[in-house]
Amino acid sequence: MVKVLVAKLTSCSGCLSELIYALTHSDIKANYNVTYFTEILDIDKISDTELAFIEGSVTTKHQEEFLKNVRSRVEFLVALGTCALMGGVQSLRVEGRIEDVKKIVYPEPRYINVLGEVRSVDSVVKVDFAIPGCPVNGDALVSFLRKYALGGLPVAIYETVCSECKRRNIPCVVVTRRAPCLGPVTNSGCGALCPQFSRGCYGCYGLKFFDITREKIEALLDRLVEFKVDESNLRAVLLAYSFKLYSKLQEGGC
Amino acid sequence: MKYPLTLVEGEGSVVIVERNNYVDRVFYEITEAPRFFEYITRGKKPELIVDFVSRICGLCGVSYAFLAAKAFEKCLGIEVNSEVDEFREILHLAERVKSHALHVFLMNMPEITKTRSFSELAERNPLIIKNAFNVLSYSRKLMRVLGGRFHNVVNVKIGGVYSTPSKEYVEQLRSEINNIFKSLTELADVILSFKPSIRFTVNKPQLCVYAEKGYSHHGEKVVLDSTVYNTGAFYRNIAKTIQKEYSTALQYRVNGSESFIVGPVVRFNRYYDRLHSEVKDLLNTYDWRPPLSVFEGYVARLAETYDALLTIREYLENYKYIDIARIKSSIPYKSTSNICEYVVEAPRGVLYHRYVLGGDGRVIECDIVTPTAQNLAVMEDIATQLTRGRRISDEIVATAKSVAIAFDPCISCSVHTLPVKVISIGEQ
């Protein structure tokens, strides 16, 4: 039995719910022993564990220390979802000074102890495996857990959402509907969900880091704004779901 | 003393303020980091908000997206095709089934059966787990066909939805639903036979979305006990945000003093008569009827799950494919007001959004009041009432935890709950 620890940082619990779904499969239940998962298990102490899943981004000092503690007690750490990998939608708050942001939302901002930045899990500790998505695809988790139990790992596939549309024979929504679509620069893994629902991809699996450059993104945005779509909306979703990468690209990094 | 809170969605702790080993007061410390959605939405166009706010809660994202769409449709003068509107309502009911199933099976059941997890319970009775997973799996299929995925659905927008499923997919759902009723009624045999260990009548005001007909779902009015309020008036003038001496948590209290309850128990108590007769017959078998106490929330959740599935079955049986491409959003944006507000009954209770639009059509102000934030005050009041003056013990800690689980708090949606500071009141 593989001992598993599941922990949540700053996030919405959507990825955890997908993990719960994965853990309901009888063959997976038979191979894994969940030792810490406060949402579904009445155990509040972490113990030495083989495998850890971390949902969410790091936005407090406490989370940073907790995460380092978890890392020191697990052998294999999996970052789960967009918040853990990129920072998540909450990253949009770093556009403002944290003291100003606090004042807008809270009457007593002095009681709010959060970091000025929103950090991905891999910027704090070593990550052994990453599963993207907002939320992650539960079937991808099932696949991961089955392969890990057998001593292997899923093969990383570096593709965009466009590849998934092609394989599924989904007509291109940019061509047929003039729908603004971030599929050409977004990680695959969702099964081309938005195009299946006749809308453009809004990039919730994050920018495909492998070969996407600032020039390629700008070229895509130049075309999409021809569809009378608000450019600020496009840039906001790129930041929301790919904060770590897109903000670096904007600064000229990567 | 602080005790981590488990079996709730999100991160929190019970804080017991003691005086010479006797309980003085109980707080629920929210350690979930704030996510500042009310800031994030500023400067954004309405069409972007719908998908963004669905990320506030992984469990009840449809409630957020549906509510935001409705709020903007109202203030921008957008009329939604009635069949499309009904489709969105069904998607929202599917979320109610999903959320209730997750909470009753994974969080309430271990608590009411005194097991440490659902797995431990399952080892004792595999039939329970089989039936529970049947219902959960079905809710997953519903969410995927109607909304695209289990969480953070992609099929809600201002003006309606992006797509509706083919008859073939719907027929598949319809053909499986009767087996789900079988699983659910077998589960009901276990769940409805339980009686909560805490017998306590809570005499607090109860708030839910006002329904002229049908069960409480969504609208522009709320009802507090028997008084009906316009949503804006209630959240601006009646429910006051206050801070308590020992707590820095934002709390909502009627006129700044009395705590109130939101959630499935409130909906059940007010609109029990409007549940399907099958649901009432089932409840009668186990001698359940209103009023339920907050510790009997699992009864209300099970009743609502059954009721929602009956409504969904009627919809599936009469489903007519809607070709969204042929329904033009022909009505242009015609702003009727720059204040966009609405209420939806999220699985855990009344959810309120208020957006103020600037001259350029972007959001300049946002207020989101979540069910959990509204219940925090009453959770603390009840836990304190049950434990004050008693000597600190494991039983007292368990009682304080039970209150939290009974309210089914979804701390992940703590868009503006605050971490609590513990103030020692010292020896006397």
Separation between Cα atoms, residue B73 and residue B52, nearest integer Å: 17
In this predicted structure, what is the pLDDT of residue B410? 62
Residue A18, H or E segment: helix A14-23
- B245 versus B60: which is more confidently predicted? B60
Query: How many other C-beta atoms can be found within 10 angstroms of the C-beta atom of residue A140?
Result: 18
Beta-bridge partners for B346: B349
Residues 143-172 of A with CB under 8 A from B: none
Pairing of the two strands A2-8 and A32-36: parallel
Any A CB within 8 A of B102 CB: yes
Mean pLDDT of B378-387: 91
Beta-bridge partners for B428: none
- A37 versus B420: which is more confidently predicted? A37
Concatenate the DSSP letters of all residues of B215-260 into one string: SS-EESEEEETTEEEEHHHIIIIIEEEE--SS--S-EEEETTTB--
CB contact under 8 A, A105 and B39: yes
Residues 185-204 of A with CB under 8 A from B: 190, 193-194, 196-199, 202, 204
* B10 band by pLDDT with thresholds 50, 70 and 90: low
Mean pLDDT of B267-274: 98
Measured between CA atoms, the residue of chain A closest to residue B32 is A10
- Distance of residue A238 Cα from the nearest chain B Cα, in angstroms: 12
Any B CB within 8 A of A183 CB: no
Query: How confident is the model over B33-90, as pLDDT tens digits?
Result: 788 899 999 999 999 999 999 999 888 999 999 999 999 999 999 989 999 999 999 9
- Distance of residue A197 Cα from the nearest chain B Cα, in angstroms: 5
Query: How confident is the model over B148-164, as pLDDT tens digits?
Result: 999 999 999 999 999 99
Tell me the chain B residues in contact with residue A193 when contact means C-beta distances shorter than 8 Å: 148-149, 154
Entry field: residues in chain A? 254
Find which of B141, B154, B164 to mutate to test the A interface (most A CBs within 10 Å of its CB): B154
Tell me the chain B residues in contact with residue A138 when contact means C-beta distances shorter than 8 Å: 140, 150
- Distance of residue A223 Cα from the nearest chain B Cα, in angstroms: 19
Beta strands in A94-150 (DSSP E): 129-131
CB contact under 8 A, A196 and B133: no
Query: How many other C-beta atoms can be found within 10 angstroms of the C-beta atom of residue B256?
Result: 12
Mean predicted lDDT score pLDDT of chain B: 86
* B421 band by pLDDT with thresholds 50, 70 and 90: very low
Burial of A88 (0-12, 13-18, 19+ CB in 10 A): buried
CB contact under 8 A, A194 and B149: no
Residue B268, H or E segment: helix B264-271
Mind spelling out the 3-state secondary structure of A206-239? Answer: CECCCCCCHHHHHHHHHHHHHHCCCHHHHHHHHH
Query: How confident is the model over A145-194, as pLDDT tens digits?
Result: 999 999 999 987 889 999 999 999 999 999 999 999 999 999 999 999 99
Instruction: List CB contacts of B330: < 8 A, sequence separation 6 or more.
Output: none
Judged by phi (left if over 0) then psi (alpha if -120 to 50, else beta), residue B64 lies in: alpha
Burial of B120 (0-12, 13-18, 19+ CB in 10 A): middle
Give this prediction's pTM. Answer: 0.93
- Count chain A–chain B contacts defined by CB atoms under 8 A: 180
Mean predicted lDDT score pLDDT of chain A: 92
Structure tokens at B416: 């503006």
Separation between Cα atoms, residue B64 and residue B350, nearest integer Å: 11
* A70 band by pLDDT with thresholds 50, 70 and 90: very high
Structure tokens at B206: 């109860």
Q: Which of A122, A120, A135, A126 shows the shortest CA–CA distance to A20? A: A135
Question: ipTM value of the model?
Answer: 0.95
The CA–CA distances, whole Å, from B416 to A239, B29, B252, B366, B373 equal 22, 13, 12, 12, 8
Residues 227-246 of A with CB under 8 A from B: 230, 232-233, 236-237, 240
CB contact under 8 A, B250 and A106: yes
CB contact under 8 A, B418 and A197: no
Separation between Cα atoms, residue A57 and residue A84, nearest integer Å: 5
Any A CB within 8 A of B242 CB: no
CB contact under 8 A, A11 and B58: yes
**Is a pLDDT exceeding 50 seen at residue A1?**
yes
Separation between Cα atoms, residue B49 and residue B39, nearest integer Å: 12
